[in-house]
A and B are shown apart, each in its own frame.
Chain A
Amino acid sequence: DQQVKQNSPSLSVQEGRISILNCDYTNSMFDYFLWYKKYPAEGPTFLISISSIKDKNEDGRFTVFLNKSAKHLSLHIVPSQPGDSAVYFCAASAPTGFQKLVFGTGTRLLVSP
């Protein structure tokens, strides 16, 4: 049962344009959502997060939007840069008493100059 889904395996955008990565979830107990970025041969690195009590969180070029009623979140990158090319994972956590992340399958973003 895939509780966190990223339906687009890949996305290509041009430098300077907006990148929008989408994520859907099914578990209504999730109360915290995160985006991780992963380069080849490296571990995932934390990018941005959002609590379920908010609908938007911004950090520089990165903005995450959460629509709880639709169980959907998205990551916007504006403007996109070639260095943003990586695999992006959406992850979620529920209040289980220990730190556990449920990840989506990832979206490979390619930003071309």
Chain B
Amino acid sequence: ETGVTQSPTHLIKTRGQQVTLRCSSQSGHNTVSWYQQALGQGPQFIFQYYREEENGRGNFPPRFSGLQFPNYSSELNVNALELDDSALYLCASSSTGDSIYGYTFGSGTRLTVV
């Protein structure tokens, strides 16, 4: 059984650019969630995808968008990058019907915006 894998592990982008982060869900998981963890903070919920549709969103602007593919892998896209977008981005997968401790987190992508 493979866990949640994220790519890339590190990334540096310039303010105003766009970025795409990728996540492969754990085998058997059909739901994916994305979290942003700024330095010194806890992870903050961005959104969740189930059956290729967004079914829950946190307090993030529309320039944060996502996709979930039929194989349950996912992308997080951020447009018009700002310096405050510098953070660790975590992907978590789970199965519908699991209690919430069924989340499995990936190791994250460290994004630095300069």
Contacts and interface: CB of A to CB of B under 8 A. Distances in A.
Partners in one complex: yes
B72 interface: no
Interface residues of A, number: 25
A96 B47 CA distance: 13
A45 B92 CA distance: 10
B90 A89 contact: no
Interface stretch (A12-20, A65-73, A75-83, A102-110): A102-110
Q: For the side of the interface on B, what is the size category?
A: 20 to 34
* Most chain B Cβ neighbours within 10 Å, of A49, A91, A101, A106: A101
Interface string B69-105: 0000000000000000000001010100011110101
Contacts, number: 63
Given A32-B99, A34-B100, A4 B48 contact: no
Contacts of B41: 105
Can you list the 7 inter-chain pairs with the closest CB atoms, starting with the nearest?
A103-B42, A43-B105, A98-B56, A100-B45, A49-B101, A103-B43, A43-B107
Interface of B: 4, 31, 33, 35, 40-45, 48, 50, 55-56, 58, 90, 92, 94, 98-101, 103, 105-108
Interface of A: 4, 6, 32, 34, 41-46, 49, 89, 91, 93, 96-106
